[in-house]
Chains A and B, each alone.
Chain A
Amino acid sequence: MLTLTPVESAALLLSLRVAFVGTVCSLPLALAVAWLLARRRFVGQQLLNGVVHLPLVLPPVVVGFALLVLFGRHGPVGGWLYDVFGLTFAFNWKGAALAAAAMGFPLMTRAMRLSLETVDRRLEAAARTLGASRSRVFWTITLPLMSPGILTGAILGFARSMGEFGATITFVSNIPGETQTLPLALYAFTQVPGGDPPAFRLCVIAVIVAMAALFASEVMARRLDRSVRGAS
């Protein structure tokens, strides 16, 4: 039971890598967007807010198709990235990470924005009067105080990425070892006769991974919360 088959371990490792890379790479962008939405007032803010939230309300297949159009080798963004950086997303694990990041983005942004809105701006003002520049205030006051929200956002984004299916299969297809993440592998098993037992094993693996992630996040969140609340 504890030994994984090559297919299972490949799918699990790929899923973890895709979710991790997708979350970590989109985190700074999510933070920047959360900042824009929480702290700035500008024309088109509601439009930005809407675009950020689109993946949450659209069918994932639509997001996958949009990514295919935009980030394909001949797409407006994908073509440019290929020409300039030699980067391609089509039918490889990077594309899966991009799909995962797109789907997790609204959840991450939302959690960060909410925590940013609870940061006491009077503390930031106090730091300024003590001689701290805007950027020092951000790194030493704002960011630490919103760290529980950043963690929550990252966990939500990671969990969403681990479960991503529709956008991934549409954008980068279901290629074993390359783009076949855990949910895609599970889906593949359910499509062949006699695939139920291996599908069930993948289910259990998914549950174990999810529980471990939740447990780890709970421990970290408590520790962060205590340090931010200021009781020793």
Chain B
Amino acid sequence: MNAVLEFITRIFNKDGVASKNVAKERLRLVLVHDRANVSPQLLQDLKADLIKVISSYLEIDEEALEVNFENSENQVALIANIPVKNVRRPVS
């Protein structure tokens, strides 16, 4: 009976994604952080420093600023999305 039930749930599994693919994708993402040895705290600090540095040149939308690690083809990239509101005028 159990086997029949299992079979039916399998057929009607609407997600259609094999669970191993879910596992692999989750692993990929978690390993990006593990390998870069990045804690959420570090990412926050990095973000704060980025804002500090960039703000002296550009006016940016601090709320919308996104900093993340992305993984593609065995490479990890630091991707920062920084919306610019305005360019500061040169002081002199």
Q: Do A and B come from one complex?
A: no
